[in-house]
Structure 1
């Protein structure tokens, strides 16, 4: 998993910005309500307890070194993306950004500081297959979709 500081995600934006299209001020609202409703920190505490009971541990990657949301394993390049960009282009494929980040974190080396490209290439076809299956299932589903996934 990636280390996250949920407290900073709850805080309001410091700078006041203007929307170029409408000329109105942007809201300073961040993710406070979402974090309160989803309780990611509590989930991780419960998960860690269950893993400890099973004799396993939760591995925490170095978020700054790995930069999973910016990396492209095919080109071996890092490219910063906007938070609103929910999809990323990897080669010829359009991949959901968060699922791709999870794939990259799954393929981190034992030092938890760098991505193992060879592992990524080895597991890419299976990931792509299951990614496409899940995106298709979510789009066909009649349940409420996760807006944060961009579907």
Structure 2
């Protein structure tokens, strides 16, 4: 038991060292090409916790019964949230490292107001906020298909003066350039065999 426990501790120690090194290198890449960085203020501890409410899914799914018949049942939603993902990626640690390095280099790090900004819901063409499921990795904006996370980052890159909402006019002005960069990134990923299904759907 003690030997296995020591091995487990060694694995966790190596994992922590790997994550820290990755964060340091990633922060360096960000800071090499920026004078101002915008980030979302997130409560990562809250995201780690399991959901409290027990609820069923909106859509019914076919479930085969013992007698061979098929019955439509609204299954319960999973209470798991983002604990494993946060543990593997440690975003709070990355933000801390980014801010520390930015302070040394004179780069400004600003936090948008997440509750009012609604980057995952906002449509800069219509000015409306529409909720989408986490499983939906793409959305239609002004007749163009955009990758959800990339588009959210684009919106965060173009905030209003108070950092409370996106600057709609700035988004409209820079949207075509975003579409070109998005297409270039996706083609590069596909040609080099890179895969991130949790973000890009491939």
Residue of 107, 121, 139 corresponding to 2:190: 139
1:3 aligns with 2:41: yes
Length-normalised TM-score, structure 1: 0.91
Which residue of the partner structure matches residue 86 of structure 2? 35
Deviation at 1:15, TM superposition (A): 2.6
Provide the secondary structure at the position in 2 that maps to 1:88. strand
Residue of 32, 51, 54 corresponding to 1:16: 54
1:102 aligns with 2:140: no
Distance 1:79 1:27 in 2: 23
1:59-111 superposed Cα distances (whole Å, 9 cap, x missing partner): 00001111111111111111111111111100111101111011011110221
Which residue of the partner structure matches residue 173 of structure 2? 122
Provide the secondary structure at the position in 2 that maps to 1:59. strand
1:31-81 superposed Cα distances (whole Å, 9 cap, x missing partner): 111101100000000000011001122100001111111111111111111
Which residue of the partner structure matches residue 100 of structure 2? 49
Provide the secondary structure at the position in 2 that maps to 1:72. coil
Which deviates more from structure 2 when the two are superposed, residues 9-18 or residues 47-56?
9-18
Could you say what the CA RMSD is over the residues aligned between the two structures, in angstroms? 1.6
Distance 1:49 1:9 in 2: 24
Length-normalised TM-score, structure 2: 0.69
Which residue of the partner structure matches residue 89 of structure 1? 140
Report the CA distance shift for 1:66/1:18 in structure 2 as closer, same or farther (over 3 A).
Answer: closer
In structure 1, the gaps of 5 or more residues are: none
Deviation at 1:18, TM superposition (A): 4.3
